[in-house]
Amino acid sequence: MYDGGKIITGLIIFLAIVTFPFYSNIGKANIKPAPDLDTPAIQELDEKKCIEPTGFMRANHMKLLKQWMDDLQELDKDTYRASDCKVYDSSYDTCMECHVSQQNFCDRCHTYAGVKPYCWECHELD
């Protein structure tokens, strides 16, 4: 192995280039967005909570919204009974009373998750 130094140097440079995307993003991949919860409507609430627990809403809000849409269109049912037995108007306005900013609330998480919801095809914010 007469050119061992050159081969090892070449391998080190090659590995540095190939692994650059991985080590340049260390610590960045787990930075989750923090939706803006500091809205006037939320600040006025006595009890600052959504219609369902936070974990449920993070995991299932699209299922809930789709169920609301289906119930309204197919069954003409326009209310939702939450797990705490409170009854809510199952409409777009129920969510947007508190989450008034599509950009500061919805888009932050959807962009992070790489999903494009179809809500805004029908619903537009003023």
Mean pLDDT of the chain: 83
Report whether 35 contacts 109 (CB < 8 A): yes
Kindly state the average pLDDT of the residues 6-19: 93
Among 2-11, 24-33, 55-64, 98-107, name the one with the lowest average pLDDT: 24-33
Q: Any alpha helices (H) in 71-116, and if so which ranges?
A: 92-96, 107-113
* Per-residue pLDDT band at 13 (split at 50, 70, 90): very high
Q: Any alpha helices (H) in the chain, and if so which ranges?
A: 4-24, 40-44, 54-70, 92-96, 107-113
Evaluate if pTM is beyond 0.75.
Answer: no
Among 89-93, 103-107, 115-119, name the one with the lowest average pLDDT: 89-93
Kindly state the average pLDDT of the residues 33-37: 75
Higher pLDDT, 19 or 95: 19
* Per-residue pLDDT band at 29 (split at 50, 70, 90): low
Give the C-alpha separation, 42 to 98, whole Å. 5
The SS3 assignment for 100 reads coil
Give the C-alpha separation, 16 to 33, whole Å. 30
Q: Which amino acid is at 103?
A: Q
Higher pLDDT, 18 or 2: 18
Name, of 9-13, 73-77, 87-91, 93-97, the range with top average pLDDT: 9-13
- Token pair belonging to 102: 């599509």
Higher pLDDT, 112 or 6: 6
- Token pair belonging to 64: 């809930």
